[in-house]
Structure 1
Amino acid sequence: MKVIPVPCLSDNYAYVLIDEKAQQVSVVDPVDADKVLEVVKQTNLAFKSVLTTHHHADHSGGNAKITSAVPELAVYGGDSRVPAMTQQLHDNDTFTLGSLSIRAIKTFGHTTSSICYYIEDGDDRVAFTGDTLFVGGCGRLFEGSPQDMYESLNVKLAALPGDTKVYAGHEYTRSNFKFALTVDGDNQALRDKVERCTDAQCTMPNTIAEELATNPFMRVHQPGLQKITGTTDPVQVLAVIRQMKDQF
């Protein structure tokens, strides 16, 4: 399994997912259809499917054009708002694409139908997290609640193996880290991670283990963050720091 990030728009990522055993490709959130199709063409492999994390146009906006170019594609998504969707997924639905085993994880918060795709290829594990989990941050709560985002991050995604590679939907890492240091500045793992990412053009992938160590939205049980937010309720900690980040 190989993942190729495709920068799109100002700070989005689409991804080309290569199944080297089955000699085929899928794409994740192909917002810029032309850019994604060019990368797919360069692989010289069969193009089989589109995995859509959520319906927002900066993730799904290329679906119609890409399926017009390749009409036989299967398009996976979480609800009817996903353009050109052919396969609606529910929480913990599992399916295979070639040799890859895929599990759909419904991760509410940013929207009420967001999906993270957890994919296994032997001992190699990746998660495409859209606008739910970013490096050092999480998505805005446009449709869901703090409780939803807490469960998405700290119950569902936190339970994935620590070596799972995380591919997020945006390059927000530097701005996320600037905020994280204001609420969790004594965290040496965070400070080390900030230093490692300073000159990186692309900070994908991270890992679940690194997020658990450095992402304040996945450290809501830590006394330091509870002190800053004035509450020991981890859901309320998340709610407060999300509000702080919105105003940062």
Structure 2
Amino acid sequence: MFIQPIPMWWGSNDNWAYLVVDDESRDALIIDPANPGDHWDHAGGNEEIDSICFFFQDGDQKAVFTGDTLFTGGCGRFFEGTAEEMHVALNKHLASLPDDTVVFPGHEYTRSNAKFAISVSQSEPVQQLLSFSEANPVTVGKYTIGHEKVAQKSYGVD
């Protein structure tokens, strides 16, 4: 599986779209090609899509596209859902994925999330996240579900 992040509206919400290509068949799909925002169908005409997060596995390679639900070092706001729905999405569905699943969020908010996190906790995982985000303006595809479990727990999110 080949995943190509595509910056969309960079500098204004720092949105990501993704091109996902199957290595063998060369079949491809694009995730969030138009106006990424706070709902499951940004482009229109995709009524059969009923999820806001998508998990892919190709051999040992695992990826989850989390849209506005989970970001590196933080989570999204719940514009249209409830706190309980966000809790279930994060702590039941996403937390149940294998720890080596690479996270592909809908926005590049890592640096701002790390700056907030460091104000809450000076833990080693948070310090590492802040250092990495300051040195690398693009962090998409660099962190896993396992990392998120450790980092977010270290500043009181459980």
Q: Given the alignment of the two structures, is residue 225 of structure 1 paired with residue 156 of structure 2, yes or no?
A: yes
Q: Whole-Å Cα distance in 2 between the matches of residues 177 and 192 of structure 1?
A: 9
**What does the per-residue CA deviation read over 1:202-228, in whole Å, with 9 as the maximum and x for residues that have no partner?**
10112001111112xxx2xx7x638xx
2:19 aligns with 16
Deviation at 1:182, TM superposition (A): 1.7
Which AA in structure 2 matches 1:187?
S
2:132 aligns with 196
Q: Matches of residues 115-126 of structure 1 in structure 2 within 5 Å?
A: 115-126=52-63
Q: Whole-Å Cα distance in 1 between the matches of residues 127 and 70 of structure 2?
A: 19
1:146 aligns with 83
Q: Matches of residues 129-140 of structure 1 in structure 2 within 5 Å?
A: 129-140=66-77
Contact residue 99 and residue 146 of structure 2 kept, 8 A: yes
Q: Given the alignment of the two structures, is residue 2 of structure 1 paired with residue 25 of structure 2, yes or no?
A: no
2:32 aligns with 29
Contact residue 102 and residue 144 of structure 2 kept, 8 A: yes
Contact residue 40 and residue 49 of structure 2 kept, 8 A: no
Contact residue 190 and residue 213 of structure 1 kept, 8 A: no
Aligned residue for 1:225, secondary structure, equals coil
Runs of 4+ in 1 over 4 A off after TM superposition: none
Gaps of 5+ in 1: 33-52, 64-82, 90-105, 107-114, 227-233, 235-248
Deviation at 1:186, TM superposition (A): 2.9
Aligned residue for 1:194, secondary structure, equals helix
Number of matched pairs: 151
1:84 aligns with 45
Contact residue 117 and residue 129 of structure 1 kept, 8 A: yes
Q: Matches of residues 46-61 of structure 1 in structure 2 within 5 Å?
A: 54-55=40-41, 60=42
Tell me the TM-score normalised to structure 1 length: 0.57
1:69 aligns with none
**What does the per-residue CA deviation read over 1:185-243, in whole Å, with 9 as the maximum and x for residues that have no partner?**
2321111122122121210112001111112xxx2xx7x638xxxxxxx6xxxxxxxxx
1:164 aligns with 101
Deviation at 1:86, TM superposition (A): 5.0
Q: Given the alignment of the two structures, is residue 128 of structure 1 paired with residue 68 of structure 2, yes or no?
A: no
Q: Whole-Å Cα distance in 2 between the matches of residues 88 and 20 of structure 1?
A: 24
RCO higher in 1 or 2 (8 Å CA, sep ≥ 6)?
Answer: 2
2:151 aligns with 214
196-205 vs 9-18, which deviates more? Answer: 196-205
1:45 aligns with none
Deviation at 1:85, TM superposition (A): 1.1
Superposition RMSD in Å: 1.9
Contact residue 8 and residue 16 of structure 2 kept, 8 A: yes
